[in-house]
Structure 1
């Protein structure tokens, strides 16, 4: 068994790209955006996509007014032409957080934070992989993440103690009590496996009991983190990695979507300013 609470089934590991220490994703994205818009190709794209250009100040205004605990704001770009969506993608760039959320009937939401924190692009595909919706969302975390995470068990079935277990049974009792008591907005309760004496048998039984969840997010902010919903409601695996891809902090959080994936109040203001600067420099 591999280290860490959450591991993919053997042969089904998903690659996790860990940026080197000192890598500045925001600066790198800003340079690539400017490099593209400053080219003849970028200038032509701007001229040919007035609807995309008109959307940018609307996004900036919405970002400036947004707060982390407020309802999200949606901007549907599904019916935009391909070149318009391409230009929007070039301008927004790629931020620190990305992931997927699985919904019933085979629908999957692909989630990508823009280089402006708190601004997200969410694309839905059906069971056949066809695009069904494409929109921009301004929020701490896209609503689909919370929606998908709700499609999980409200309680856990604690079975018999496995032979050779150390601490898994009291941990399961604690998790069950905490998830039942949690209410939206409550502080998260954290179980830190890095500090607890747990065996491989404990971890295996814990994984089997909690099950797989419908959400997986990767954050490349201050260190890299993998945030995975379990099959138990409000229970998340949150793992932090070093530059070599080794787990350095392994936790379960019982609560709302972990803060490691979410934008904060100050992010919205900063993102609004950056987007306005880009619009004024290249679209007016």
Structure 2
């Protein structure tokens, strides 16, 4: 049985479940995006040699506090231009890495890596050239990076491309009707609509047609928890592939969602409030 891929993420088999003998083969996130690990605070002497780090933490605290108090209209970015490499390394050690990684294709051979910190709702951006040279780093406060919310579908199709059932092989059974359903929900902007492919009788040709018609967008998201959730933007506005894998990397749920950004990738307002408190505790411990 062959395997179709969407940005390297498999869409497999009848009912979208893998055959027992078939290994999953998906595109890994960049190697700079490591799995979650607990923050390790630096020794006092290390911090004393880098006083600017405390200033950056204070600025980040101010952004978080204003965001929690003032909502979405407040400033959300802390540029790291001019911060030397040693200070950034120490800051990264303090903030550590969280569960969500984002890869944004800039379309010019480069990409933007966005890693959520161990403080949910705090995101570290790294802009890389085609040769993978990082030329910009920024911290952002928000439930989801603004770039993802506002720019994922800039060049996407406004409607789902339909396929004429009469021109398709007999092995394509349900895909045309699923595409029509998606088109209707996209036109209505019925955000929150989910099609569970795992529960449907889909042939390989069904899945191939879905992949072909929806295409691949700019954004891939990996959310780590008990297992992994891999979220990929399609090339149709507001349509996402969302796939859940258990701790043994077995595909257990394969869905299409009509939504601005799937909730599994987003921090909540409560997360931001908690992160503001946790950062305050970290700063007190470093004094």
Q: What band does the TM-score fall into relative to the shorter chain?
A: 0.7 to 0.9
- What is the rounded CA distance, in whole Å, between the counterparts of 1:120 and 1:57 in structure 2? 16
Tell me the CA shift for residue 267 of structure 1. Answer: 0.3
Return closer, same or farther for 1:128/1:85 CA change in 2, 3 Å cut-off: same
- What is the rounded CA distance, in whole Å, between the counterparts of 1:166 and 1:263 in structure 2? 38
- What is the rounded CA distance, in whole Å, between the counterparts of 1:197 and 1:69 in structure 2? 44
1:180 aligns with 2:200: no
**Could you state the TM-score of these two structures normalised by the residue count of structure 2?**
0.83
Q: Which runs of 5+ in 1 are unaligned?
A: 18-23
Tell me the CA shift for residue 172 of structure 1. Answer: 0.4
For the residue of structure 1 that corresponds to 2:152, the secondary structure is helix
Counterpart position of 2:123? 120
Counterpart position of 2:63? 62
CA RMSD of aligned residues (A): 2.7
Q: Deviations over 1:114-134 (max 9, x none)?
A: 000000001111223222210
* Structure 1 range deviating more: 251-260 or 52-61: 52-61
For the 8 Å contact 1:78–1:134, the answer to whether it is kept is yes
Counterpart position of 1:14? 27
Counterpart position of 1:204? 208
1:167 aligns with 2:174: yes
- Structure 1 residue aligned with 2:152, among 148, 154, 165? 148
Tell me the number of residue pairs that the alignment of Structure 1 and Structure 2 aligns: 264
- What is the rounded CA distance, in whole Å, between the counterparts of 2:273 and 2:78 in structure 1? 18
Q: Deviations over 1:204-260 (max 9, x none)?
A: 100001111111010013542001111111110111111110111110111111000
Tell me the CA shift for residue 7 of structure 1. Answer: 6.4
For the 8 Å contact 1:213–1:230, the answer to whether it is kept is yes
For the 8 Å contact 1:109–1:144, the answer to whether it is kept is no
- What is the rounded CA distance, in whole Å, between the counterparts of 1:53 and 1:175 in structure 2? 49
Q: Deviations over 1:48-79 (max 9, x none)?
A: 22222112122123223435972560000022
Counterpart position of 2:271? 267
Tell me the CA shift for residue 82 of structure 1. Answer: 0.6
